[in-house]
Structure 1
Amino acid sequence: MEINFCSACGQSMETRDIDGTERRACTACSFVHWGNYSIGVGALVEREGKLLLVRRAQEPGRGYWTNPGGYAEQLEQLHETVRREVIEETGIEAVVTGVAALRDEPRLIHNLYVAYSMEYVAGEPIPDGLEVDAAGFFSREEMESMNVASFTRWLADVALSSRSEGLRLDENPIVPLKGYGLFRVGKDTEV
């Protein structure tokens, strides 16, 4: 889809070479349309060696088992988005402990997917009845006979086989950066 009007001032757009790439740019102001992007998040919640999965009740992926997740909200940090999505889809309370995996999928709308390791806190899986029609914790062996989406199979392997802690939430950065969601490789705890 071609962008015809500027989202900043409403004037018409034209195609221009910007830094060696043809992009849509405003004819009246400095706005440049850099592309179409979406950011998805997914939860890897483990309890007693089993991973939390949901069965999709809607397209895309209706009937497939996937990890809970969704798309980023404009004014919500990603680690808050994934926590909210887990509660909404399953009723499970969990907290983010780190970034476990990323998927970068360039396409018409370039998609970045961030999978978070999460620590189970409380609750029993109850599907929301709208986005998902079933939810539960499943072992790797149980998943073998289930209709698990291929990307989710990969994520399950990441979650259940990982030897790394991944990028950890930096709750006390050396410089306070209000409003940032900061993740980093683990800090040494010894001084």
Structure 2
Amino acid sequence: MEINYCLSCGTVLEVREIDGVMRKACTACSFVHWGNYSVGVGALIERDGKYLLVRRAQEPGKGNWTNPGGYIEQTELMHDTIRREVLEESGIHAEVTRIVAVRDQPRSIHNVYIAFAMDYVSGEPVPDGEEVDAAGFYSLEEMADMKVAGFTRWLIDVAQKGETRGLNADENPIVPMEGMGLFRV
């Protein structure tokens, strides 16, 4: 889908060069359509040497085992999104510890995916029956015989072999900044 009208005033947009890129912009106000973006988040939760996986019940990836995750809502902090998605998809309560990987995927809707290591808190895996039809904790040996998505395999490898601790949640920044999710090395 393409944007043709200004989201601020409703005027027909024109294409013109802005910052060296051809962009749609309003002729009546200052609105510029900077592009289409989506931000996804995913969880890597380990318990007793096994990782939490869910089996996709819908496209894309129907039938594949993946780490739980989803897309952030407009007014939701990333770490709140991933806690919610994990709980919705698997019934597991978990807390964010750090960011361990980022995927940048330019395309018609530019996708950025942020993977979080999370500490298991409580619960037993139960699929939501809508987005996922199975959920459980699995060892690497068990995963060898499962249809685990390649990106999920890569994320688990990153979590296991990471050379650093990743970006850690900054719970006590030197200056209070309400409403922001802050992470630091």
TM-score using structure 2 length: 0.98
Distance in structure 2 (CA, Å) of the matches to 1:104 and 1:70: 15
The aligned amino acid for 2:40 is G
Aligned residue number for residue 94 of structure 2: 94
Distance in structure 2 (CA, Å) of the matches to 1:6 and 1:64: 39
Aligned residue number for residue 128 of structure 1: 128
Distance in structure 1 (CA, Å) of the matches to 2:140 and 2:163: 17
| Offset of residue 164 of structure 1 | 2.2
| Offset of residue 159 of structure 1 | 1.7
Tell which deviates more after alignment, 161-170 or 73-82. Answer: 161-170
Cα deviation 1:10-68 (Å, max 9, x = unaligned): 11100011011100000100000000000000000111111100000000000000000
Aligned residue number for residue 161 of structure 1: 161
Cα root mean square deviation, aligned: 0.8
Q: Matches of residues 1-191 of structure 1 in structure 2 within 5 Å? A: 1-185=1-185
Distance in structure 1 (CA, Å) of the matches to 2:147 and 2:73: 29
Distance in structure 2 (CA, Å) of the matches to 1:119 and 1:95: 5
Equivalent position SS for 2:83: helix
Equivalent position SS for 2:38: strand
Cα deviation 1:137-186 (Å, max 9, x = unaligned): 1111111110000100101111222342100000000011111100001x
Q: Is the 8 A contact 1:49 1:160 kept in 2?
A: no
In structure 1, the gaps of 5 or more residues are: 186-191
- Give the share of equivalent positions with the same residue, in percent: 68
Distance in structure 2 (CA, Å) of the matches to 1:103 and 1:161: 17
Distance in structure 2 (CA, Å) of the matches to 1:146 and 1:162: 24
Distance in structure 1 (CA, Å) of the matches to 2:133 and 2:160: 24
**Segments of 4+ moved more than 4 angstroms:** none
Alignment length (residue pairs): 185
| Offset of residue 2 of structure 1 | 3.2
The aligned amino acid for 2:61 is G
The aligned amino acid for 2:98 is G
In structure 2, the gaps of 5 or more residues are: none
Equivalent position SS for 2:151: helix
Equivalent position SS for 2:133: strand
Distance in structure 2 (CA, Å) of the matches to 1:63 and 1:159: 23
